[in-house]
Structure 1
Amino acid sequence: MSAPPESLDTAAAHLLAAKYFQLAGYAMLIFDHLITFGDEVERIWKRKFTGATVLFALNRYLTPVQFALILDAFHNPAWEGESCTKYVSFEGFCTVALVGVCEMVMILRIYALYDCKLPILAVLSTVLVAQIIVGAYGIHNGFPVPLPPQLVGCIFTGHTLFAALWFGPLVTDVFIFSFTLWRTKAYFTRRGRGSTPTIELFVRDGVMYFMVIFSVNFLNILIYIFAVEDLKAIGASFSQLMTSVMISRLVLNLRSVGQSRDELYDTQPGMQFATNRRSRREEDTFMTRTIGDLGGELKSGFYDTDDSHWDDGQHTDTVESDQNIELSRVP
């Protein structure tokens, strides 16, 4: 028996809204790729291949491939029946995995910020594992949105626990943001005379990431709770796309610090030059920990910078040698 005209019109309108929303999110992702591709080449592919490179590539290029398949499933009538049922499970688990990759980048930034202390990594890794388990459980019984036969679309949704797909990252991001604020407060307090550009960028990007992703995930939870059945998961793709864009921007921004810092310091002479060299040395050590191996066993000299070379305000050969060693480790 065919659906009543009113129901069919409503279902068609909701389906069209979901398709437009999906296309808009994907267009945003591709546009961001295009406008940042030059920075990506300079700051990622022309520098040392590290763990940051691997995580960046997974997020940067698997996400568009996944969403190309999602768009095809939204519009291709071949995705129906059993093939659609199998596909939506694949879509859900891909989302959990790729969001987990993004969270790994954030966690390893915190690990670097805390001088590569294993207890910090253990706590945040436990939170991430819990997020993945909860998310996987929430989507394991997902199913396609029921549509009238006249309409085409393979769209993923689920039962009540489906909201765990957004609740898990929301909790993880609260942990990460809290750790960030606590540690950077110590840096600001210690320096007294002000923060370095690296720390300022670290805090700015951390706050921006948290506010954007927290808001998107919280909005998705509200939509899932209050929206009609066939619109409950309308924002699922957008939250993952925004997470992907923010992580890419975060890594690219951190890698830009080395370039702008070199342009600044190499033009400053005399005693001011020597003073800035000291600040540069501190930043190099911190930045190496942050975006080098993203959590490798790196030198933790941020707090232990030797002041003896700077007592006379002069730039000695010994200090220049130390700077060369530090700079050689920045990817």
Structure 2
Amino acid sequence: MRKSVRCGDVIIGGNAPVSIQSMTNIDTRDIPRVVGQIRQLEEAGCQIIRLAVPDMESADAFGQIKKQVKAPLVADIHFDYRLAVAAIEKGADKVRINPGNIGSRERIQAVVTAAKARNIPIRVGVNSGSLEKDILQKYGGVTAEGLAESALRNAELLEQMDFEDIVLSLKASDVALNYQAHRLIAEKTNYPIHIGITESGTVNSGKLKSAIGIGGLLLAGIGDTMRVSLTGDPVKEVYFARDILKAMGIRPGGINLVSCPTCGRTRLELERIALEVEDAIIPLARKREALGLPPITVAVMGCVVNGPGEAREADFGVAGGDGKGVIFARGQIIKTVPEEAIVSQLLELIDQDMEGHR
């Protein structure tokens, strides 16, 4: 079992479920807009939120923002140790640093001392674009071995200062390299691991790389907290992170939607129905998470060949006919309804199921 640390009210590692993170993309000094974006992220299901702290004015703003939101906040620091110390004193629940670019041992010690005084963890963040020169020379460039060595080196530096509330992060934009580096680090340490694909791209291209990269790590049992890094609205990162965990079946309360690809036997507008169900189950999934309910599967099937069997195997489902659908609930036929009532009837069943657990 991996070591666990606490970030605000969120446990990272140990037996805790994989938590979802994101990062604001608004100038931290713009307090009202940042607070608004954090609240949007909270509403979307983000559990830990990181803010850039590039100057002392941003550190001061961090403290004011912290007073107005509920989610744990992480201060993202590069180069200037004084910003890390200031952010910690302003109430940061965690700081993200790369000890290699903070400077002297004395400066790193100042950050560690502040973190210990507030009993908060430090995330050691190593990226493929920020490896130490000696490691690049040793391995002839960016390699999985180099990423792992850098992360372990920096963690050891903190250990020498009697600090072990560490979260390790080593990210690359190359999916295969990223996977190999994480496999190496997972074998050599029991610190909790923050996973993701850095600089993965736009919402379209980045989703594909993130699904493969993060999904592969989760299947290998690696990852205690995660961020999907996309160019654009960070709220979309959270929604897609939830989708990944839901597809893996490891998100409590998730709703897994399965639907057939359609064929010439389909006699109803299955694509429209599936999309409507997909949109509508998002708030229902959040309710299930809040109640701590296990994941469920909803099947939207289009014909009488495989449809009844697949729908019967799901918790809730519909098998389509000619302009109508047979509604199933946990293996039992509930009713036959016209096509236009399929979505509402499925949603009603899911909602009734939750009501029974309140």
**TM bracket, shorter-chain basis:** 0.3 to 0.5
**TM-score normalised over the length of structure 2:** 0.31
The answer to which structure, 1 or 2, has the higher relative contact order (CA under 8 A, 6+ apart) is 1
**TM-score normalised over the length of structure 1:** 0.32
Quick check: which one's helix share is greater?
1
Quick check: which one's strand share is greater?
2
